[in-house]
């Protein structure tokens, strides 16, 4: 039996559907990754796109992380407003309005930006003034994901030189995120691919070095490849995200010894059984607006029999199929559902209901969702 | 060329990614469905789960709709706060807290609830007082979706009798939503299945009649089957939703004459090109947190060449593949992307950017997202 239970006192008053965090598992995950990094000497810059929570970022920093990664300006604004500094924005910042927001953040607390095109360098340079401290810039390198980043070594050198030539910017190193490798289930295949990506990044670092461009930061990796990327370089810091929550997707990932990743499920959606009229199944009030669709179906439940399964049944509903002979929950019964894919699930909700080790409940807001700072 | 263009003045200042509505198409869709209903004499109760927008609900009512359907108490609260009345909640309301919220709404403006279990009848009855006007209740009938609703005619009769016996409730009729049929692409198959569902609903209506229970409301249908359900009964009102926006999913649906549904695409996500380093493709800043994943890929674009295609590339990014020989957009170029699945896409954003016929921009808030009235 899981230590969380949907019927414990602090959860019984929560309107469903809602996000529930097991704070004990969360803290174990934060400590576990911090220890793993300490052992290998690599730094951590956990990615806030997973949680969008200043409370969680603060705990990651307290456990030794050197800073926080953000996917968007809005996430960085949410973190900064809560007093979290040392922020890297991992997606190229494009457009004068966003460059101005980046400059504004930078004046509060030194920012780092990852860019992949000269136009971004010019826009951000233009948004800063001579009174501003230089903003640190990483050249984003595409190591196979084909999403953002420069593709060739020559382009990496040219962009680094452009950054160096821009007086309001400071060339600080590279970013190389192999997002396409994080979810490879087979550990050997993942290790091999991660080594290949690391080799490409190392080649870029060497070539920059030969051009007199020193990459003091090499930022990359994720939960799936962190055990490999933490050893032997070239990464100086790991942008791990999902390890804090885990999910059905990362639940499938194997370590080299055949076990799963050494992190616990910490994120659940609490739902209410709203319909029980069909034999062997019940309907809960958590559908595609409560649980992200882009992941394997939930495979962990608390409050229904082991062996239950979940299927989406529209925007507001899911069907839980019960194993043969299992007792059917009543209308009004509550269920904890382990989430499909953690990042986009968290993005569907405004707040975490955090059940702490002493059984009390804390509410942690989720910040930086689209337009959350804007029109009501 | 679409009349909307991502570079027109009112859109050029919108931070991306964001929702854009073509108000001309929206108004044509509202008028088109209103006319179709008028011709057949059926009433419309458009479903607000699609838009969560009081501004759109108001336009639907002005075009003749008799009321609005809401999936959740939070949606109804958002509508009610904006002065929209005549609300039906289409999902069973479960739990004392939600029953109390329903009773509170009912005191502002008469509500209708669709229920499928005696426990819900008791909870809602208990939330009302003798000073309250009786609350109208529909028996929710499962016509094949296996989500909510009573399954047998006997259970429908028993629940209707229970409602009639509860002095604070009034038995008002049936709800029967065949959500599983709305997206059947083949019109003949959809028509046949809709007729079968309608027959089952008609049988329940007759049996209730024989028991002295008159179903003055029979609420159901959706955009996909509305043309069939509007004729010949048993529905008195249609809960059409998606027709206002359309999307890639409904774009595949056929009419009996082989044409598509007679409604235009009105909902887009505006995105910015943020990376252009790979030949034949660009990366935009709209991914799984901006566009719902549970639908076919976007197939309509404005701002990139005809024949382009879209693929998700993580939380914050999408890849637009360009047809051979097409010019590559620059970093900073803007694109309008026709949405995948309209309801859950709207739910990812806080506001619609509505481009009106005169080219001006209006901002319409999206209400009733989870916790939107709660902790901030």
Residues of chain A found within 8 Å of residue B177, distances taken between Cβ atoms: none
Interface test with A, best of B280, B321, B370 (most A CBs within 10 A): B370
Adjacency order of strands within the sheet including B43-44: B43-44, B237-238, B217-220, B169-176, B135-140, B111-115, B87-89, B68-70
Q: Is residue B47 classed as helix, strand or coil in its secondary structure? A: strand
- Residue from the list A148, A349, A371 with its beta carbon closest to the beta carbon of B283: A148
- Averages of pLDDT over runs of 10 residues in chain B (376 residues) are 80 94 97 97 98 98 98 97 97 97 97 98 97 98 96 98 98 96 95 97 98 98 96 95 96 93 96 97 98 92 94 97 96 97 96 93 95 48
Which of A250, A340, A251, A242 has the alpha carbon at shortest distance from A292?
Answer: A340
A150 shares contact with chain B (CB less than 8 Å) = yes
Q: Do B142 and A314 touch (CB under 8 A)?
A: no
Mutation for testing the B interface, residue in A13, A283, A341 having most B CBs under 10 Å:
A283
Give the pLDDT score at B232: 85
Alpha carbon separation from A79 to A191, A368, B263 (Å, rounded): 33, 8, 42
User: Is the CB of residue A176 less than 8 Å from the CB of residue A205?
Assistant: no
By C-alpha distance, which of A328, A327, A277 is closest to B117? A277
Q: Which residue shows structure tokens 């461009």?
A: A213
Contact: B344, A272; criterion CB under 8 Å: no
Mention every residue, 6+ apart, whose C-beta is less than 8 A from residue B327.
Answer: B305
| pLDDT for res A2 | 61
Tokens of B193: 């299945």
**How far is B278 from chain A, CA to nearest CA, in Å?**
7
Helix A187-210 crosses helix A153-165 at what angle (to 10 degrees)?
A: 50
Q: Which of A246, A237, A211, A224 is nearest to A87 (CA)?
A: A237
* pLDDT tens per residue, range A107-158: 999 999 999 999 999 999 999 999 999 999 999 999 999 999 999 999 999 9
Alpha-carbon gap: B258 to the closest alpha carbon of chain A (Å): 27
Mutate to test the interface with A, among B7, B14, B15 (most CBs of A within 10 A): B15
**pLDDT value at residue A372:** 61
Q: In this structure, what DSSP letter does residue B315 have?
A: S
- Inter-residue contact A92 to A262 (CB < 8 Å): no
Q: Please name the member of B49, B71, B117 whose beta carbon is closest to the beta carbon of A275.
A: B117
CB contact under 8 A, A94 and B374: no
On whether any CB of chain A is under 8 Å from the CB of B358, the answer is no
User: Which residue of chain A comes nearest to B272, CA vs CA?
Assistant: A94
Contact residues on chain A for B150, CB-CB shorter than 8 A: 277
**Quick one: angle between helices B118-127 and B153-165, nearest 10?**
20
**What pLDDT score does A45 carry?**
98
Inter-chain touch A375–B363, beta carbons under 8 Å: yes
Distance from CA of A265 to the nearest CA of B (A): 20
Answer yes or no: do B350 and A372 touch at CB < 8 A: yes
Instruction: Give the C-alpha separation, A92 to A73, whole Å.
Output: 10
- Inter-chain touch A155–B277, beta carbons under 8 Å: yes
Please count the residue pairs, one from chain A and one from chain B, whose beta carbons lie less than 8 angstroms apart: 196
Alpha-carbon distance of B209 to B291, in angstroms, equals: 46
Closest-approach residue (CA) in chain A for B75: A316
- The three-state secondary structure class of A274 is strand
Nearest to A185 by CA among A254, A243, A245, A249: A254
Cross-strand bridge partners of residue B128: none
Strand-by-strand arrangement of the A87-89 sheet: A43-44, A237-238, A217-220, A169-176, A135-140, A111-115, A87-89, A68-70
| Residue in the block written with tokens 């209006």 | B362
Identify the pLDDT of residue A375. 34
Among candidate residues B277, B278, B322, B284, the one with its CA nearest the CA of residue B304: B322
Please give, rounded to a whole number of angstroms, the shortest distance from the CA of A230 to a CA of chain B.
Answer: 23
Q: What is the pLDDT of residue A1?
A: 43
Find the angle CA(A125)-CA(A129)-CA(A133) to the nearest 5 degrees.
Answer: 85
Q: What is the pLDDT of residue B10?
A: 87
From CA B266, how far away is CA B259, in angstroms rounded? 18
Residues of chain A below pLDDT 70:
1-2, 372-376
CA distance A354 to chain B (A): 14
Q: What is the pLDDT of residues A36-92, one digit of tens each?
A: 999 999 999 999 999 999 999 999 999 999 999 999 999 999 999 999 999 999 999
Residue of A155, A277, A371 with shortest CB distance to B151: A277
B interface test, pick of A70, A90, A91 with most B CB neighbours within 10 Å: A91
Chain B contact present for A18, CB below 8 A: yes
Chain A residues 185-214 with a CB less than 8 Å from chain B? none
CA distance B277 to B323: 16
Q: Which residues pair with B302 in a beta bridge?
A: B336
Residue of B nearest to A144 (CA): B278
Q: Which of B119, B123, B179 sits opposite A314 (nearest CB)?
A: B179
Distance separating alpha carbons of residues A349 and A346, to the nearest angstrom: 6
Answer yes or no: do A15 and B332 touch at CB < 8 A. Answer: no
Question: Which residue among B13, B273, B370 sits closest to A350, beta carbon to beta carbon?
Answer: B370
């Amino acid at each position: 039996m899981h230590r969380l239970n949907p019927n414990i006192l602090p959860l019984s008053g929560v309107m469903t559907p809602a996000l529930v965090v097991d704070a004990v598992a969360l803290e174990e995950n934060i400590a576990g990754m911090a220890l793993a990094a300490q052992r290998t000497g690599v730094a951590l810059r956990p990615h806030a796109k997973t949680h969008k929570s200043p409370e969680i970022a603060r705990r990651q920093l307290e456990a030794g992380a050197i800073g926080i990664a953000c996917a968007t300006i809005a996430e960085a604004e949410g973190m900064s407003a809560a007093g979290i500094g040392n922020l890297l924005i991992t997606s190229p910042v494009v457009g004068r309005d966003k460059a101005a927001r980046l400059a504004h953040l930078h004046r509060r607390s030194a920012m780092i930006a990852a860019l992949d095109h000269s136009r971004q360098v010019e826009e951000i340079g233009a948004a800063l003034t001579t009174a501003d401290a230089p903003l640190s810039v990483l050249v984003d390198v595409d190591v196979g994901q084909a999403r953002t980043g420069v593709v060739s070594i020559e382009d990496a050198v040219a962009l680094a030189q452009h950054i160096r030539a821009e007086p309001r910017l400071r060339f600080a190193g590279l970013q190389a995120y192999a997002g396409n490798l994080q979810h490879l289930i087979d550990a050997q295949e993942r290790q091999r691919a991660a080594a290949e990506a690391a080799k490409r990044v190392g080649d870029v670092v060497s070539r920059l070095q030969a051009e007199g461009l020193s990459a003091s930061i090499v930022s990359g990796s994720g939960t799936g490849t962190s055990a490999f990327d933490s050893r032997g370089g070239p990464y100086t810091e790991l942008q791990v995200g999902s390890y804090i929550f885990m999910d059905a997707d990362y639940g499938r990932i194997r370590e080299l010894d055949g076990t799963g990743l050494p992190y616990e499920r910490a994120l659940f959606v609490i739902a209410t059984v709203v319909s029980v009229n069909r034999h062997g199944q019940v309907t809960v009030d958590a559908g595609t607006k409560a649980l992200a669709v882009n992941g394997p179906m939930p495979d962990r439940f608390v409050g229904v029999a082991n062996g239950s399964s979940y299927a989406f049944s529209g925007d507001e509903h899911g069907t839980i199929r019960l194993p043969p002979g299992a007792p059917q929950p009543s209308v009004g019964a509550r269920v904890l559902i382990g989430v499909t894919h953690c990042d986009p699930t968290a993005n569907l909700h405004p707040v975490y209901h955090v059940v702490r080790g002493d059984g009390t409940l804390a509410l942690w807001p989720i910040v930086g969702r689209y337009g959350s700072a804007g029109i009501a």
